[in-house]
Amino acid sequence: MLTVEDAQARVMAEVTPLGAEGVAFDQTFGRVLREDITAPIDAPAADNSAMDGYAVRAEDIAGVPARLRVIETIPAGHLATARVEPGRAMRIMTGAYVPDGADAVVQVELTDGGLEEVTIRQSVARGTNIRRRGEDMRAGDVVLRSGTRVGAAEIAMLAGVQQRVVQVGIRPTVAILSTGDELIEGDAAREPGKIVNTNGPLLAALVRDAGAIPRPLGIVRDTRDATIAALEAAATSDFILTSGGVSVGAFDFVKDALEALGAEEKFWRVAMKPGKPVVLSRLRNAVCFGLPGNPVSCFVSFHLFVAPALRKSAGQEGSLFPPAVRARLTAPLRAAADRPVYFRVRVTARDGELFAQPLATQGSGSLTSMIGANALAVVEAGTSAGAGADVPTLLIAPIW
């Protein structure tokens, strides 16, 4: 059976980044930059004060206390109208440009705070409390790289360099089909034998989190014809996610229906627990993932295979896969299977070390075993890991 790593490589081979589109900079949170951004000018644009204090000539205050005449006050955002000549000083506020003639700023705490005349109690060297022109960035510097996902800091940078419209990756559309005769939507009345479709909303949220656009197409009944029709309708999307109907049950039609539509199967079944029956197939231009029906299998296989593909499709470069760390187990885990087991755990940081707390329930049908899970601890087939053991752990969500 295919290993998870080989399956991931096959997934990535099917995905090419979509094109780019121009978007207003403040609407790009969570999008992926598709152009390098360069600084148009030096920042800061001129030497400016890092403190509220007095702009002085360092040599004038080499001997202290020193008395200087205060000839001007420079608030932030205003320019001095004169030079600082020997024996003179200007009151200056944080961020204001350092006036010509001055080569240091003495913070107000080292003075008597005088308005007409000031007494400086401590000498400072030339350059003290001056933020240099271009210290943050120089004109022409690449300040943001193509392939980066935009967060708050990137938005601030785009604002700072006055990049009003930015090229970002087109977000892939992702059709979501929930197969199963047993399914009802969450707003329907309860019925014996039926269960609520939770994979649909689960996948829609995961898709959004991965930077793509979900197209929820509802429940598909367990017949070959209904499955074919639903896949046909989904094939205009960049990706198709189905859940359920990929095992060997008498009513599992996803593989059949894909074949009937002429889709090219890339793999079926991966050596992992949960999630073994996952299918990768190409249906015309759409990359189709047949995910298992069990909610937890669906969740785990999404993180391992689908999320990286969606990120790549949106243009993201670099860390596409869940990052692997080592974490110390707080309780033992045993992989009683012929495949590696991906246990849902909650990772926390304590005293600089990562700990992985296995969730109480690990059943693949159990919604509770996903709540609070921010990582998957990997235990190799047929092995155990005791409490305190350091295990490879894949982060699937922030750990705070």
Q: Residues in the site for ligand AMP, rule: CB under 6 A? A: 178, 180, 182-183, 195, 197-200, 243-245, 247, 249, 292-295, 365
**Shortest gap between Cβ of 179 and Mg ion (angstroms)?**
6
Please say which residue, 61 or 207, places its beta carbon nearer to ligand AMP. Answer: 207
**Shortest gap between Cβ of 368 and ligand AMP (angstroms)?**
14
Please say which residue, 245 or 340, places its beta carbon nearer to Mg ion. Answer: 245
Q: Does 358 bind Mg ion (CB under 5 A)?
A: no
- For 129, residues 6+ apart whose C-beta sits below 8 A from its C-beta are 49, 50, 51, 53, 104, 105, 106, 107
Q: Does 295 bind Mg ion (CB under 5 A)?
A: no
Per residue, the 3-state secondary structure of 146-215, as one string, reads CCCECCHHHHHHHHHCCCCEEEEECCCEEEEEEECCCEECCCCCCCCCCEECCHHHHHHHHHHHCCCEEE
Which of helix, strand or coil describes residue 7? helix
Cα torsion 293, 220, 208, 377 to 10°: value is 0
Rounded Cα distance between 33 and 88, Å, is: 50
Please say which residue, 99 or 245, places its beta carbon nearer to Mg ion. Answer: 245
Which of helix, strand or coil describes residue 115? coil
151 binds, among ligand AMP, Mg ion, none (CB under 5 to 8 A by kind): none
Among 17, 180, 214, 292, binds Mg ion (CB under 5 A): 180
247 binds, among ligand AMP, Mg ion, none (CB under 5 to 8 A by kind): ligand AMP
**Shortest gap between Cβ of 362 and ligand AMP (angstroms)?**
16
Please say which residue, 38 or 247, places its beta carbon nearer to ligand AMP. Answer: 247
Nearest to 108 by CA among 155, 49, 157: 49
182 binds, among ligand AMP, Mg ion, none (CB under 5 to 8 A by kind): ligand AMP
87 binds, among Mg ion, ligand AMP, none (CB under 5 to 8 A by kind): none
Ramachandran class of 320: left when φ > 0, alpha when ψ lies in -120 to 50, beta otherwise: alpha
Number of residues interacting with Mg ion: please give it, by CB under 5 A.
Answer: 4
Please say which residue, 254 or 335, places its beta carbon nearer to Mg ion. Answer: 254
Q: How many CB atoms lie under 10 A from the CB of residue 319?
A: 10
